[in-house]
Amino acid sequence: LLRYYGTRNGQTINSSDYGDYRIKCSICGEQSLNNMSFIAHLCSHFEDDLNYISPFDKIYRRCSVCHDEFSTPFQTLLHKDQEHMIEINEFRCRICQQNHHSLIDLFTHLNYTHIGLDMPYICDRCNYRTSMYEDMAYHIRQVILVF
């Protein structure tokens, strides 16, 4: 699977280099410095609602099978696929989230649909790239916390 999934570090960018793109919240009027902090702010309006599940709540750094902890969701998902995929009978493409019936089907999909080390998720702030949606969501959350 390492042939298909990967990450590439981005560059460090100061918030002052990113520009001034203030966005005003239509709910409370608070201004956010950029679109990423605005999304985090919008989510905060709904966190008190018991039915609301933040998209970031689904991002885990702990394996749901053996409970080992990893530093990033990318490493967690790669571990889960390499160590537990057959055991839990889950053959999901981590690039496009498509489920498959077998490991052979998954590899056929990867070979014909995605090029090696396909990293379609790109951070527009620092150019960090990854193959996995969950990893990009985690990265964006970390970038938001910095600014």
The one-letter code for the residue type at 62 is R
Q: Where are the domains of the chain?
A: 7-146
| Residue 103 confidence class, pLDDT cut points 50, 70, 90 | very high
Q: Model confidence at 50, in pLDDT bands (50, 70, 90)?
A: very low
Quickly tell me which residue has 């570090």 as its tokens.
9
Please report the pLDDT score of residue 32 as a whole number. Answer: 76
- Is-above-0.85 flag for pTM? no
Is the pLDDT at 39 greater than 80? The verdict is no
CA distance linking residue 2 with residue 84, whole number of Å? 15
Average pLDDT along the chain: 77
pLDDT at 57 over 70: no
DSSP state of 57: G
